Amino acid sequence: MNIKPLGDRILVKPLRQEDVTKSGIVLPDTAEKEKKEQGEVIAIGEGDKIKKLKLKVGDKVLFGKYAGDEVEFNSVDGGAGKVDYKFLKDEDVLGIVE
User: Which of 3-7, 8-12, 19-23, 70-74 is predicted with the least confidence, judged by mean pLDDT?
Assistant: 19-23
Residue 26 lies in a domain: no
Between 69 and 18, the higher pLDDT residue? 69
- How confident is the model at residue 20, as a pLDDT? 64
Residue 60 lies in a domain: yes
**What domain count does the chain have?**
1
Residue 21 lies in a domain: no
Residue 3 lies in a domain: no
- How confident is the model at residue 82, as a pLDDT? 80
What's the alpha-carbon Rg for the chain, to the nearest Å? Answer: 14
- Phi then psi dihedrals of residue 72, to 5 deg: -125, 125
- How confident is the model at residue 73, as a pLDDT? 81
Residue 2 lies in a domain: no
Please tell me the pTM assigned to this model: 0.75
pLDDT in tens, 25-65: 766 655 555 567 899 999 999 999 999 999 999 999 999 88
Give the mean model confidence (pLDDT) for residues 62-77. Answer: 83
The whole domain housing 62 covers: 9-16+35-97
CA distance 48 to 67: 20
Asked if residues 5 and 42 have their Cβ atoms less than 8 Å apart, the reply is no
Q: Does an H or E element contain 8, and which?
A: none
Residue 4 lies in a domain: no
Residue 84 lies in a domain: yes
Torsion of CA 48, 50, 56, 60, to 10 degrees: 170
| CATH code for position 71 | 2.30.33.40
Residue 28 lies in a domain: no
Mention every residue, 6+ apart, whose C-beta is less than 8 A from residue 22: none
